[in-house]
Chain A
Amino acid sequence: MFDFLGIPPQALFGQLLLGLINGSFYALLSLGLAVIFGMLNIINFAHGAQYMMGAFVAFFLLQFGIGYWPALIIAPVIVGITGIIIERLFLQRLYQLDHLYGLLLTFGLALIIQGLFRHQYGSSGLPYAMPAQLTGGHNLGFMFLPNYRAWVVVLSVVVCFGTWFVIEKTRLGANLRAATENPTLVRAFGINVPRMITLTYGFGVGLAALAGVMAAPIYSVNPLMGADLIIVVFAVVVIGGMGSIMGAILTGFALGVIEGLTKVFFPEASNTVIFVIMVIVLLWRPAGLFGRAA
């Protein structure tokens, strides 16, 4: 076959696949942010810290002999519950105020969480062993694909589309969407809107924690793992436009792939390419690719 810009096709496909894997994390995290923003109109700056907590809870569970598979469920639930506590204690008081206060509060929470974990664990990584069933990999011809990374893509796709399905195609989702538009009216129908909001926040946080558990075996578990990542996810969300769930998912995967390609052709820029794209999108379509015009 032909070489594309000096890169043999095998290498290219390999990098595309890797980009897809990274995109899975972007998709999961931006999905969580989009869900929370859709319901609560709050930008959850603590999302990165909650992603980190998910990885740490998985690590703690391992110390108690609870392995990866149960941790995939238990860790998001635990972190989701902390999210519910946060919502009840703090966020509820902010709904009547300007949305920016929500950003400031969650930023403060992120600092607290990160500081506490850093104080306890320093900033070197903690080891988390890969689950035995997923070690090793397959030689696909153009690259050696570790099983675990394939699993990451599969699980993310399932979770993302599952969430989208629930929100867009089910009764529960319809109630959620209606409550975003007109909470008072929906309450009049006898639906407990405050509880729905609380649970939605918990779910969004749980999604972040799930991403954290998935990240634990391949990236190191350390208190700073979410800090820089969250800013990239913000950029992803701005590019996608916060109006649509599907938009957040697709943008996440797409940007992961683009970043992966950048690592091949122009590796030094791979940190900044997503921000550059954000600037371009903003100049061309200020509402984001899938967003509704503000």
Chain B
Amino acid sequence: MAQITEQADIRPRHGLAQWSEQIAFAVLIVFLIIAPSFIYPVLLMKALCFAIFACAFNLLIGYVGLLSFGHALFFGWSSYVCAFAAKRWGFPPELAILAGTGAAAVLGLVAGAIAIRRQGIYFAMITLALAQMMYFFALQAPFTGGEDGIQAVPRGYLFGLFNLADQMTMYAFVVVVFLACFLLIYRIINSPFGEVLKAIRENEPRAISLGYKTDRYKLVAFVLSATLAGVAGSTKALVFQLASLTDVHWTMSGEVVLMTLLGGLGTVFGPAVGAFIIVAMQSYLAGFGQWVTVIQGGIFVVCVLLFRRGIVGVIAQALRIKL
């Protein structure tokens, strides 16, 4: 099966290296606490939403070996459903996010059932085509607002108590959502289920011969990935108070691939790191127009040719730790 990730499971040696993941997690939390004082909080929230998205995507490519080129489908549609629920139906934020996530899960089930039939490149192309089809549907469906998108989405009161219109309250909420998703993914990866997924990635015929119904595992992983991408999309809709066509466009699917590839496929922290870097780059280079696209293309090329482990992967390998 796919050798798409070259992340060998490095057994950590001794001493501090054993705790590499926990240390990195602590560093992450400290960063998230102090960052708003020197970085524009809206930018941070954007990075966090994309980090969730990239982690969700990584679940599929890094641990099952399936490259989905249509993840914008789940991200974008959950964003629309959440925005619609919050605006038209007046849902409070927690229910709106649940609604969006639920929509993503359903889409994940349907898309997964269709796409899992093929492998490798075909799988990627099918997911791309499905996402494109749903993009056109989003363009024409009345409830998505087409080109306008769904605007002026109210952030509401979380659990009826916390006013999310306040920037810092919203930031705290997004951090909590991110950490929850992050820990959930970590738990999935390091569970018996996760081990089966990795087995499927390494050698699917072997896994089948051992009696595992690999298609079922792959589908579950696909739905999980889609659902978590849905959490990312719904949260993003509330942060920006806007759901638009950009979120369902194929360039969005390409961006999440880029973030994960840059950060490190199959690493725990890689996708989040990649997301932060790409969002920062887009923000600081915003005045340069199309150069951002060229640079992103360049990062793809460089990463594929020279840098397949991604930033976190390279660090992890150099330090002989698990990240």
**Interface bracket on A:** 35 or more
Q: In the complex, A119 Cα to B285 Cα: how many Å?
A: 14
Question: Shortest Cβ distance from B203 into chain A, in angstroms?
Answer: 14
Contact with B along A198-218 (1 / 0, CB 8 A): 000000000000000000000
Contact of B143 with A by CB under 8 A: no
Q: Is the CB of A104 within 8 A of B304?
A: yes
A residues within 8 A CB of B119? 294
Chain A interface (Cβ < 8 Å from any Cβ of B): 43, 90, 93-94, 97-101, 103-105, 107-116, 118-119, 228, 231-232, 234-235, 237-238, 268, 271-272, 275-276, 278-279, 282-283, 286, 294
Q: Is the CB of B114 within 8 A of A282?
A: yes
Q: Is the CB of B114 within 8 A of A279?
A: yes
Q: Is the interface of B mostly helix, strand, loop or mixed?
A: helix
Closest to B111 in A: A279
B residues within 8 A CB of A113? 297
CB-CB contacts below 8 Å: B104-157 with A? 114, 117-122, 124-126, 128-130, 132-133, 136-137, 140
A residues within 8 A CB of B120? 98-100
Contact of B83 with A by CB under 8 A: no
Q: Is the CB of B301 within 8 A of A235?
A: no
If A98-B2, A109-B297 touch, whether A276 touches B304 (CB-CB below 8 Å) is no
Q: In the complex, A176 Cα to B138 Cα: how many Å?
A: 43
- The count of A-to-B residue pairs whose CB atoms sit within 8 angstroms is 126
| A–B Cβ pairs within 8 angstroms, 27 of them | A43-B124, A100-B67, A100-B120, A101-B4, A104-B304, A108-B297, A109-B297, A111-B254, A111-B300, A112-B293, A112-B294, A112-B297, A112-B298, A115-B290, A115-B293, A119-B289, A119-B290, A231-B128, A234-B129, A235-B125, A238-B125, A238-B129, A272-B137, A282-B118, A282-B126, A286-B117, A294-B122
Q: In the complex, A119 Cα to B289 Cα: how many Å?
A: 7
B residues within 8 A CB of A114? 293, 297
Closest to A97 in B: B3
- Leading 10 A-B pairs by shortest Cβ distance: A108-B300, A111-B297, A115-B293, A112-B297, A275-B133, A115-B294, A119-B290, A108-B301, A235-B129, A286-B117
